[in-house]
Structure 1
Amino acid sequence: MKRLQKCCCAASTRTGTLITAVLGIILSIATIVLVWVVKRHRITFSTFIFDEDFDRKLSDLDIPRIILTINLCFTILICSLLIVAVQKRRSWLMLPWVVLGIVLAIGLLISVLHTSITYYLDKEDHVLIATIILIGGLFYLCLYLYLWAVVFSHYLDVRDEEERGRYRKAPYRR
């Protein structure tokens, strides 16, 4: 993969990485608030593994909300770790975010496809909703992958800097 030199054609990859981490924290906090503030009948969780009665029992006990909140708290922790890694220029502190980022991208793709296909196959006519979910989800996935590429490029730059030493000559001048 070719490394990116700039984020959004203007900012450095370092700045783009910081913006990505701050956005991750803000979106995680907003999602936690949204999940716990919105009434239960507006948000439904289903496992697709167990039967519908078991899913309803889990939702009544707020188990899906608790699991989602714990996952988002870990996302906040990893984004905070990314901010510290950028400030201290430590590549190994960036690695959890890089790994989690690509796993989340795969999960997002599966989720968008599953949700839109479910709406397309629904007996009621939800073609418009399914199309909006598909197009919007794929757009969001592309944006997310671009921001992941920015962070990954910065990770590679910091890792290379650590390997050759911070104050040594550039490799082409040896």
Structure 2
Amino acid sequence: MKRLQKCCCASTRTGTLITAVMGIVLSIATIITVWVVERHTVAFKTYIFGEDFDKKLLAHDIPRIIITINLCFTILICSLLIIAVKKRRSWLMLPWVVLGIVLAIGLLISVLHTSISFYLFDAKDEEEKYNYNILATIILIGGIIYLCIYLYLWVVVFSHYLDVRDEEERGRYRKAPYKR
């Protein structure tokens, strides 16, 4: 894979720091949103258990707790990424790199599943069907755009990870004198 040398108009180091800070800010904003928004505005289905079990889980705030725990781990991993960039340690970047590609795959599956579910929704009349088709199209296009941006930022972080790893492998005394 060809490495990126720059992120937009900055170095991959700066792009990695911006990505980590954005991850922390978006995670905090999502945690706040999850706990502030009314419970009934978000549908929750497990697709494994019955509808009554889903309602019990929702009544005990289990989905909100799970999302909050996941976002707290995202904050932790983004914090590790910031420390890794500052200390130039590739092994501290590795959790973010691995989690990032897993999340990209999950995002793709989620966008496709949600948009297909809306396209296949059994509407009562033509206007409702039209509205669901519009919503499905917006979710599909917006999700793919978001996925492309996310993958670009992942490639920026991965490029910086490879640069730092190569620098660590060269060793302290094999580096150019101006990089010590």
Q: What is the number of equivalent residue pairs in this alignment? A: 169
Q: Cα deviations across residues 16-59 of structure 1 (Å, max 9, x unaligned)? A: 00000000000000000000000011122211111111111100
Q: Equivalents in 1 of 2:145, 2:105: separation in Å?
A: 14
Root mean square deviation, CA, Å: 0.9
Matched residues in 2 for 1:131 and 1:49: separation? 27
CA distance in 2, matches of 1:81, 1:114: 32
TM-score calculated relative to the size of structure 1: 0.95
Matched, 1:40 2:39: yes
- The alpha-carbon distance between structure 1 residues 169 and 88, as it changes in their structure 2 partners (threshold 3 A), is closer
2:131 pairs with 1:128: no
Q: Distance in 2 between matches of 1:45 and 1:2?
A: 41
Post-superposition Cα deviations, 1:113-138, rounded to whole Å, max 9, x if no partner, equal 00000000001210000000000000
Residue 149 of structure 1: aligned partner: 155
Residue 169 of structure 1, CA deviation: 4.2
**SS at the partner of 1:41?**
helix
Q: Distance in 1 between matches of 2:111 and 2:146?
A: 10
Find the counterpart in structure 2 of residue 49 from structure 1: 48
What SS does structure 2 have at the residue aligned with 1:2? coil
Aligned counterparts of 1:12 and 1:112: Cα–Cα separation in 2: 31
Q: Secondary structure at the match of 1:4?
A: coil
Cα offset, 1:167, TM superposition: 4.5
| Greater mean deviation of Cα atoms: 45-54 or 11-20 | 45-54
Where in structure 2 are there 5+ consecutive unaligned residues? 124-128
In the alignment, does 2:167 pair up with 1:161?
A: yes
**What is the aligned partner in structure 1 of residue 143 from structure 2?**
137
Between the aligned partners of 1:31 and 1:120, the Cα distance in structure 2 is 27
- Spell out, residue by residue over 1:52-91, the C-alpha distance to the aligned partner (whole angstroms, 9 max, x if none): 1111110001001000000000000000000000000000
In structure 1, the residue matched to 2:72 is 73
Q: Which deviations, in whole Å up to 9, do the C-alpha atoms of 1:3-27 show, x marking residues without a partner?
A: 000001x100000000000000000
Alignment correspondent of 1:3: 3
Unaligned runs of 5+ in 1: none
Quote the sequence identity (%).
Answer: 80
Distance 1:74 1:169 in 2: 35
TM-score by length of 2: 0.92
CA–CA distance in 1 between the matches of 2:16 and 2:162?
12
The residue correspondences of 1:105-116 to structure 2 (distance < 5 A) are: 105-116=104-115
